[in-house]
Structure 1
Amino acid sequence: MAAHPRTWRPPCSWSSARSATPCAVGSATCGGIFDPEGKRARIAELDRIAEAPGFWDDLNRAQAVQKERAQLARVVEGWERYAAAFEDLDVLFEFAEQEPEEPAHREEIAAELARLERELAELEIATILSGEADANNAIVEINPGAGGTESQDWAQMLLRMYTRWAERRGFAHELLDYLPGEEAGIKSATLLVKGEYAFGYLKGETGIHRLVRISPFDSAKRRHTSFASVFVSPELDDEIVVEIDEKDLRIDTFRASGAGGQHVNKTDSAIRITHLPTGTVVSCQNERSQHKNRATAMKMLRAKLYELERRAREEEKQAASAEKKEISWGNQIRSYVLAPYQMVKDLRTRHETSNVEAVLDGDLDPFIKAYLLHGGDGRGVEEEAVSA
C-alpha cells in the first residue's frame, strides 16, 4: 500500500523503489481480483447475445443483459484507466532515476502513488457493487427510537448526515416525507438520494444507529443514549417488477406538515399507504398534488417491499433471523459517542474514527468502503457495546 505523500520517502535507490511499486499499488500487470480478461470475454458473450435475432422479444431479459454489460464495462474501463496511469508512473520513475537529486520528481511520484491507491480502492468497490439494484437511486427512511425529543433530535442529525454525504458525492437529494418533532428533531423522514450506485453505497447503512452525548435538552447536563433506525431501499426502475394487490392496501390521506411553503397545510394532499400483509407503511407529502404523492408513495412501497424480501433471502442464506429488530440497546450497527470521549465505531467491520464531527458532516465513505470490502454483511463480527 502506498504511503501518504506527506510521509513517503524514496528508498536507497530509485530502481529499487520502481521495482517495488507494483506491490505497493496493486500490480497493474496481473489483474488480480478484477479479472479484466474474464470480464472482457463476458462482455463479448453478452454482445453476441444482444445481436441474436429476437433479442428484444423478451424485454426483461434484454434489459438484464444490457445492465450486466454496463456493470462489467464500468469495471473494465476503470481498470484500463488505472493500468494506463500505472504506465505513466513508470515514466516518472525513469526521470527520477536520471535526476535522483531533483525533489520535484519525488513529490510528483508520491502524489501519483497516493492517487493510484485511491483509484485502486474505488475500483475494488466497483467490482463489489454488482447487485441487481446496486446501480439505482436510494430511498433512505429514518425513524427515531424510544426517548422522545432526544431520539427525534438524533434522527434529525442522521438526516443531515446523509444529506451532506450526498452533497459531497455530487448526488442530488429530495425529501419525500418529513414529519417534524413536537419540540425538536423529526418523528420520521424519507430521503431520496439520486446518483450512480447510490443504493449500492448506502445499503449498508440499514440498521440501528446509537448516540451517546451530553443532552442539550437536560438542564442537569447528564449523558443520554439515543437510538434511531435507518432503512435503505433502492428506487426501482422498470427492470424490477414488484406486484402489489390493491386489496392488500389501506390508503389514508392527511394534511401535510413540515417545510413546504404557504399552501402546505391547506389541503389533505399527503398520502399514507399501509401494506396490510406485511404491516409496511410509507407516506409522502412533498407534492401539493395528492395524485403525485400517491404515485411517489407507491414507488416507495415497492422499493421497501423489494428490499425487505432481498434482505430476508440474504438472512436465510446466512442462517440468521429475518425478524425486524427492536430499536434499542444491543441491536445497533454503529455507535457515535460524543461524551465522555469522541468515537464513531462500526460494530460489524470494527472501523472507527475519533473525528465524530466529520462523520456527522457527511464523511461516511471510510465506513461505507469498510462495509463493502468486509463482505457487505458484517459476518464474523460480534455485536459489542461501546461503554459510555
Structure 2
Amino acid sequence: MSELQRTLLEEIREKFEPIRGIFDTPLKRKRVLEIESESNTDIHFWNDRKKSSALLKEKKSIEDGISSCESLLKKFEDILVAIEFGEEGDELSVKEADDCIEELSKEVQILETRRLLSGETDKNSAIITINAGAGGTEACDWAMMIMRMILRFADRKGFKAEVVDELEGDGAGIKNATITIDGDYVYGLFKSENGVHRLVRISPYDSNARRHTSFCSVFVSPVIDDDINIDVKDSDLKVDTYRAGGAGGQHVNRTDSAVRMTHMPTGIIVQSQQQRSQIQNRETCIKLLKAKLYELELSKRQAESKVIEDAKMDNAFGSQIRSYVLHPYKLVKDVRTLAQSSDPNAVLDGDIEDFCIEYLRQIAAGQFKGKGGSGEDLE
C-alpha cells in the first residue's frame, strides 16, 4: 500500500465516521421499526394521508442513509482486499485500489452533502426566478448567462428543468425568466444561488471595448408539496389570460392559453405561457404562487429573530453574493463564503457544486467568513 493510498484512505475514514454517526445509529434503526409497526398495526394509519405520507418519507430517508453507510463500509473492505493483493505485486489490483479510493471519496462527499441538506424544505424541488439588473442589453445578456449556468448545473445533477416563463431582452438575452427544477434535494442545493450575481468583463456590445459591470438577481423558492398547507382562495385571485408570445406553433399563438395570476392580498403576480393548454398553465401558476407565498411567510417568521435576520442579509435582493471577473483577470469569488475559482468558463458552464457545498457547510457551522455586499475586494 503506497503512502499516498494510506493518506487518502485515512482522510476518507475521518470524513466518514462522523457522517456514519448521523445516518446509522441504533435510534435510527429503532425508529424504522416503530414506523413499520405503526403502519402494520394501526387500522387508521392509511386514512390520514398527510400523516402516513410524512412517516413513510421519514422511513425511506432513514433507510437510504443506513443503506449508504453499509455500502461504504463494504467498499472499505473491498479496498483493503485489493491493497493486500497489490502489495504482493499484482499491478491490476493496485489500480483497482486507486479506483475504489476515488469512488469511495465521491460517495462520502454525496453522503456529507445529504447531511448538510437537513432543512425543512431542502428535499423539495425548486422554482428559480432570474431578473436582469439595470444596464440594458449588457444586463440582459448576463441574465441569460446565469440562466444557462443554472440549467447546465441542473443537467449535471440529473434534475429535470423547464423554463415556464421568459421575457426576451430588447437586443439580446432576457429581462427575466422563471425556471422549475424537479428532483430530490434541488432546493437545498440551489438556495446558495439566491441573491445578486455580479459580472465584470469587456462588453461585447461596446464598440470601444470598455470594461462593464452588470448585475443579475436570482430568487430561489422551494416547491410546496401537499404536506405543507398553503391556502389559496379563489376569491383572492385575479386571473388574466392572453396569447403566448414567441415560438410555440399555431395552437399556442392563436389561443389565449397563457395565464397571469395576481394574488390580491399580497400583490404577488405569477404567469406561465409555456404549456399548450390554459389549464396546464393555470396549474403551473398555482404552483408558482404557493412557492412565493411560502417564501413570504418564511421571511416574516425570520424577521422576528434578529440572529436569523442578520444571516438573511446575505441573501436579500440587492446584496451581492458572488462576483464573476473576466477582465482584467479571471476569477469567480463568493463574497459570503470566500470560496473561489480561477476558471470562470467552467463555472458559467454549470460547475458550481463546490460553491453550493461550501455555502451549506458554513450555514451548518452557523456563520459565514465573508460579509457579502459590495465586493470591493475584487475591484
Same fold (TM over 0.5): yes
Which residue is equivalent to 1:21? 9
Which residue is equivalent to 1:6? none
Which among 153, 158, 178 is matched to residue 166 of structure 2? 178
How far, CA to CA, are the matches of 1:375 and 1:325 in structure 2? Answer: 12
Shift of 1:35: 4.3
Shift of 1:367: 1.4
1:68-102 deviation line (CA, Å, top 9, x unaligned): 11222221111111111111111112213333xx5
Which residue is equivalent to 1:298? 286
How far, CA to CA, are the matches of 2:309 and 2:38 in structure 1? Answer: 38
Which among 87, 92, 104 is matched to residue 82 of structure 2? 92
1:23-56 deviation line (CA, Å, top 9, x unaligned): 4433766765434023222222322333342222
- Is residue 179–residue 188 contact of structure 1 (8 Å, CA) maintained in 2? yes
Which residue is equivalent to 1:112? 100
Which among 41, 47, 51 is matched to residue 40 of structure 2? 51
Relative distance call for 1:110 and 1:263 in structure 2 (3 A) is same
Q: How does 1:113-128 map to 2 (within 5 A)?
A: 113-128=101-116
Which residue is equivalent to 2:128? 140
The sequence identity of aligned pairs, in percent, is 43
Which residue is equivalent to 1:338? 326
How far, CA to CA, are the matches of 2:283 and 2:159 in structure 1? Answer: 23
1:362-383 deviation line (CA, Å, top 9, x unaligned): 1121112222222269733312
The number of aligned residues is 372
Which residue is equivalent to 1:205? 193
1:137-194 deviation line (CA, Å, top 9, x unaligned): 2211111112221111111111111111122222222111111111111121111112
Shift of 1:231: 1.3
Shift of 1:123: 0.5
Q: How does 1:1-388 map to 2 (within 5 A)?
A: 10-11=2-3, 17=6, 21-26=9-14, 32-37=20-25, 38-53=27-42, 54-99=44-89, 102-314=90-302, 316-317=304-305, 318-320=307-309, 327-328=317-318, 331-375=319-363, 379-381=367-369, 382-383=371-372, 385=375, 386-388=377-379
How far, CA to CA, are the matches of 1:119 and 1:81 in structure 2? Answer: 9
Matched position secondary structure for 2:309: coil
- Is residue 137–residue 198 contact of structure 1 (8 Å, CA) maintained in 2? yes
1:258-315 deviation line (CA, Å, top 9, x unaligned): 3323444333322222223333221100123222211210111002211333354346
How far, CA to CA, are the matches of 2:313 and 2:3 in structure 1? Answer: 55
Higher helix share: 2
Matched position secondary structure for 2:143: helix
The amino acid that maps onto 2:188 is G
Shift of 1:324: 11
- Is residue 351–residue 367 contact of structure 1 (8 Å, CA) maintained in 2? yes
Relative distance call for 1:178 and 1:68 in structure 2 (3 A) is same
How far, CA to CA, are the matches of 1:378 and 1:223 in structure 2? Answer: 37
Matched position secondary structure for 1:26: helix
The amino acid that maps onto 1:297 is C
How far, CA to CA, are the matches of 1:325 and 1:164 in structure 2? Answer: 22
1:172-231 deviation line (CA, Å, top 9, x unaligned): 221111111111111211111122222222122211111111111111111111111111
Q: Which deviates the most, 36-45 or 203-212? A: 36-45
Relative distance call for 1:357 and 1:27 in structure 2 (3 A) is closer
How far, CA to CA, are the matches of 1:359 and 1:276 in structure 2? Answer: 40
How far, CA to CA, are the matches of 1:267 and 1:28 in structure 2? Answer: 57
Matched position secondary structure for 1:375: helix
The amino acid that maps onto 2:213 is T
Relative distance call for 1:75 and 1:314 in structure 2 (3 A) is farther
How far, CA to CA, are the matches of 2:276 and 2:23 in structure 1? Answer: 50
How far, CA to CA, are the matches of 1:95 and 1:119 in structure 2? Answer: 24
Q: Which deviates the most, 226-235 or 354-363? A: 226-235
Unpaired runs of at least 5, structure 2: none
Relative distance call for 1:242 and 1:33 in structure 2 (3 A) is same
